[in-house]
């Protein structure tokens, strides 16, 4: 078969059912499925989706004029062991620019056969009957073979999508007519159009007599469809997604048990039921079929419900979702009093997260770009991703429905909130995605985050706040669910946000509990509670190994702090046999030791009314734009000097960090502001004990803060 040697001169129509059946190097015809910051997702076949990374493009991602559903051509660069597909850019974006087209059907006799220009893509086929309420009588064919709609025909609105369909008898006639020159065979073309109209009328007549639904038909659940293939059924539920393919319109319908695709066909690429969209409650009659091993209902009639009928369906969905989403029980990873006191809060937060997965609602996790923050965020990620994979068959679903975005500044302020709101509105507008559930881990519990949380609330995005530290009372009105020992007035000493996040993850998905058992110990720089140290040791992580993991995560968290580094963090925390952590931890130790050694030699140790305070000018005696960060340097210095000094203050151009036990940095900032009113002193980032000020008054501000801190000790 000499065509094999010319794979890069033709495009291929993939008709397989596994990514491993793709051939790297070949160009394939695909359909734009969605967009992300890092690239474009392209469907090569139903359930087979690859990522065209932005680095592969010959232009900026923002300059692409593609929309969801557009037909595009891409090159398969690589198929990874986990089934992920790496795609490359093709400068050819139309059939005519290739030398030909071939079928790639790994399990079929047609593999390698050429595709004629008029051939249809068999990856999807139309429903057997045109949905009731959709007229086909008005469709006719002009001399060029294009459909013309009369004013009575429904709008063809909606996005084009990822699947293509075989034509109906009518569209086949149109295609055949289009293949003949209009000038030579006008009579044949007119006759074909007449036959098309006649056939369509016959189809409609058949619909009227054969497909009239039974008004008293019994409703069945989506969960029961496995045993009903070939049967006519009725389901009721909510439309959770609607996409227009090259053939039928696909409605994703969720009832109280599961989600199923329902195909409604008018004609290739024309939107059926254009007035029905995401969020509508509907009743649907149709035939259950298996398409490439997946259930699908071929729609015969779809009705939008309202009033009492819609209310009954919605209540059924709410009750079922709550019952399914709420964990049966919450078992803490270890016997920790602070965690045991918040099991109901953990159950509420877990229900919100699991409910988002079941509703196909994206989840955005925000956490601090610290070792503690990464442990908490990665633990939740570890719990949620398997649930997403279970709920959605698409290989790239975990990238669509889960995002972890670290925050360099552990405050959920307007900058972060504006970024999130902008993205969620774009995704909602361009891809019909639901508004996300935003989970704030250790970053949303103080009044510094009120403005950001409020902005999310304006658009109705749900918010879960998880924080081991005390949560300000004002936050309660801005969150859908709160998790913090401070809300039940229990002693939270010794509880890290990483440990709390790991316990939440176990509540979300008990099946990953063993994967999480070492994480709480990793989150503590020192004095990890014995229950977590023992738990990690039982899992094979001794104190030395958890230390190396902590240091490795801290170093990676510093670089590109705004990136989640999903695969790298996963390798470190869950899949490392020690080699990766050893290497990165060594770099951490070298960089930190060098910086601390320099800082210690330049400490200004002050005695303030008998209180010893170590003060460092980080601008002069540290590399501010290299690892470690000023905050991490302050942590390391305080750990090493705490026996000699009661407090450590590290300052830079217009900010300083206070490290001391039981010091209220807000009160210290207020006292310093009274002493230096021209200093513009403000306590921000309370989780970091950070104070901002005007650089022109720096020396006076530092003196005033040191005095205020010493007064509290």
258 with 396, same domain: the answer is no
CATH number at residue 20: 2.40.50.140
Give the pLDDT score at 393: 65
CATH number at residue 608: 3.10.310.20
600 neighbors 640 (Cβ within 8 angstroms): yes
470 with 568, same domain: the answer is yes
CATH number at residue 480: 3.90.1640.30
372 neighbors 441 (Cβ within 8 angstroms): no
Tokens of 379: 């633990």
Task: With respect to residue 614, please indicate whether it lies within any of the assigned structural domains.
Answer: yes
**Token match 């151009």: residue?**
653
How far apart, in whole angstroms, are the C-alpha atoms of residue 170 and residue 197? 8
238 with 97, same domain: the answer is no
Give the pLDDT score at 347: 96
Q: State the CB neighbour count (10 A cutoff) for residue 581.
A: 23
Task: With respect to residue 631, please indicate whether it lies within any of the assigned structural domains.
Answer: yes
516 with 486, same domain: the answer is yes
Q: Note the pLDDT tens digit of each residue in 39-49.
A: 899 999 988 99
Beta strands in 191-231, from DSSP E residues, in sequence order: none
273 with 391, same domain: the answer is no
Task: With respect to residue 641, please indicate whether it lies within any of the assigned structural domains.
Answer: yes
Could you say which DSSP state residue 180 is in? S
Task: With respect to residue 436, please indicate whether it lies within any of the assigned structural domains.
Answer: yes
Task: Compute CA distances 75 → 16, 86, 329, whole Å.
Answer: 16, 9, 48
How far apart, in whole angstroms, are the C-alpha atoms of residue 9 and residue 215? 56
Task: With respect to residue 202, please indicate whether it lies within any of the assigned structural domains.
Answer: no
Q: Note the pLDDT tens digit of each residue in 589-612.
A: 999 999 999 999 999 999 999 999
Q: Tell me whether strands 655-660 and 647-651 are parallel, antiparallel or unpaired.
A: antiparallel
Task: With respect to residue 534, please indicate whether it lies within any of the assigned structural domains.
Answer: yes
Q: Which pairs from 603-607 meet CB under 8 Å and 24+ separation?
A: 603/637, 603/641, 605/644, 605/645, 606/706
414 with 561, same domain: the answer is yes
How far apart, in whole angstroms, are the C-alpha atoms of residue 557 and residue 627? 10
Task: With respect to residue 193, please indicate whether it lies within any of the assigned structural domains.
Answer: no
19 with 93, same domain: the answer is yes
Give the pLDDT score at 208: 41
441 with 358, same domain: the answer is yes
Range of the structural domain that residue 252 is part of: 124-139+147-168+213-307
406 with 525, same domain: the answer is yes
615 with 694, same domain: the answer is yes
How far apart, in whole angstroms, are the C-alpha atoms of residue 522 and residue 513? 15
**Token match 């210095």: residue?**
637
Question: Among residues 307, 326, 357, which one ends one of the domains?
Answer: 307
Q: In degrees to the nearest 10, what's the CA dihedral of 75, 78, 80, 84? A: -20
Give the pLDDT score at 3: 42
Give the pLDDT score at 315: 94
465 with 559, same domain: the answer is yes
Question: Among residues 550, 583, 616, which one ends one of the domains?
Answer: 583
Our count of domains for the chain comes to 4
Task: With respect to residue 119, please indicate whether it lies within any of the assigned structural domains.
Answer: no
Give the pLDDT score at 216: 66
554 with 424, same domain: the answer is yes
- Averaged pLDDT in 10-residue chunks for the chain of 713 residues: 55 92 94 86 92 86 83 93 90 84 89 70 38 42 33 36 37 37 38 40 42 68 93 94 83 91 86 91 95 87 95 92 89 95 96 91 95 97 94 78 92 94 87 87 93 94 94 91 91 89 97 96 94 96 96 94 90 91 95 94 94 95 89 92 87 95 92 97 86 96 96 91
639 neighbors 526 (Cβ within 8 angstroms): yes
In whole angstroms, how large is the CA radius of gyration of the chain?
A: 31
Give the pLDDT score at 117: 55
């Amino acid at each position: 078969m000499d065509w094999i040697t010319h794979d890069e001169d033709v495009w291929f129509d993939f008709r397989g059912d596994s990514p491993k059946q793709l051939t790297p190097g070949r160009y394939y015809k695909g359909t734009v499925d969605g967009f992300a910051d890092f690239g474009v997702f392209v469907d090569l076949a139903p359930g087979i989706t690859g990522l065209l990374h932005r680095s592969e493009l010959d232009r900026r991602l923002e300059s692409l004029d593609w929309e969801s559903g557009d037909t595009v051509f891409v090159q398969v660069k690589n198929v990874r062991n986990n089934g992920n597909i790496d795609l490359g850019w093709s400068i050819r974006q139309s059939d005519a620019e290739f030398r030909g087209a071939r079928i790639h059907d790994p399990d079929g006799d047609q593999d390698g056969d050429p595709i004629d220009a008029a051939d249809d893509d068999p990856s999807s086929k139309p429903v057997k009957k045109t949905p009731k309420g959709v007229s086909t009588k008005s469709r006719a064919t002009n001399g060029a073979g294009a459909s013309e709609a009369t004013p009575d025909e429904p709008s063809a609105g909606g996005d084009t999508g990822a699947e293509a369909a075989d034509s109906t008898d009518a569209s086949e006639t149109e295609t055949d007519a289009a293949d003949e020159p209009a000038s030579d065979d006008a009579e044949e073309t007119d006759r074909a159009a007449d036959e098309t109209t006649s056939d369509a009328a016959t189809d409609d007549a058949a619909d009227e007599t054969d497909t009239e639904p039974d008004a008293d038909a019994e409703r069945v659940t989506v969960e029961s469809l496995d045993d009903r293939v070939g049967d006519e059924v009725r389901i009721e539920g909510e439309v959770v997604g609607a996409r227009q393919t090259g053939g039928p319109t696909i409605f994703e319908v969720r009832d109280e048990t599961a989600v199923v695709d329902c195909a409604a066909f008018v004609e290739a690429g024309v939107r059926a039921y254009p007035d029905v969209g995401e969020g509508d409650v509907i009743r649907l009659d149709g035939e259950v079929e298996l398409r490439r091993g997946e259930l699908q209902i071929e729609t015969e009639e779809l009705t939008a419900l309202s009033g009492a009928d819609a209310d009954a369906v919605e209540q059924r969905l709410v009750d079922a979702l709550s019952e399914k989403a709420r964990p049966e029980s919450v078992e803490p990873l270890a016997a920790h009093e602070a965690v045991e006191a918040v099991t109901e809060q953990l159950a509420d937060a877990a229900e919100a997260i699991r409910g988002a997965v079941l509703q196909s609602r994206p989840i955005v996790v925000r956490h601090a770009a610290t070792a503690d923050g990464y442990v908490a965020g990665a633990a939740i990620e570890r719990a949620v991703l398997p649930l997403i994979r279970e709920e959605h068959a698409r290989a790239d679903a975990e990238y669509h429905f889960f995002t972890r975005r670290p925050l360099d500044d552990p405050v959920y302020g307007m900058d972060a909130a504006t970024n999130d709101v902008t993205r969620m509105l774009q995704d909602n507008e361009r891809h019909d995605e639901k508004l996300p559930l935003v989970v704030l881990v250790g970053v949303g519990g103080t009044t510094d985050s009120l403005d950001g949380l409020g902005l999310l609330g304006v658009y109705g995005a749900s918010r879960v706040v998880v924080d081991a530290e005390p949560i300000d009372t004002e936050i309660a009105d801005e969150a859908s669910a709160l998790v913090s020992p401070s809300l039940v007035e229990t002693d939270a000493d010794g509880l890290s946000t990483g440990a709390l996040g790991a316990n939440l993850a176990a509540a979300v998905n008990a099946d990953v509990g063993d994967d999480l058992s070492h994480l709480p110990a990793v989150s503590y720089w020192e004095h990890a509670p014995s229950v977590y140290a023992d738990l990690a040791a039982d899992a094979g992580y001794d104190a030395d190994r958890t230390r190396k993991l902590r240091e490795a995560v801290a170093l990676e968290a510093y670089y590109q702090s705004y990136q989640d580094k999903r695969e790298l963090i996963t390798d470190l925390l869950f899949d490392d046999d020690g080699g990766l952590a050893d290497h990165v931890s060594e770099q951490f130790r070298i960089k930190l030791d060098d910086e601390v050694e320099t800082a210690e030699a330049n400490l200004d140790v002050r005695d303030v009314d008998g209180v010893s305070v170590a003060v460092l000018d980080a601008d002069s005696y540290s590399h501010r734009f290299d690892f470690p960060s000023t905050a991490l340097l302050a942590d390391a210095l305080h750990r090493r000097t705490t026996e000699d000094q009661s407090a450590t203050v590290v300052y830079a151009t217009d900010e300083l960090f206070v490290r001391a036990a039981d010091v209220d940095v807000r009160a210290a900032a207020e006292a310093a502001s009274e002493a230096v009113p021209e200093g513009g002193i403000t306590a921000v980032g309370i989780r970091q004990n950070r104070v901002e000020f005007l650089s022109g008054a720096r020396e006076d501000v530092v003196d005033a803060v040191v005095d205020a801190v010493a007064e509290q000790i």
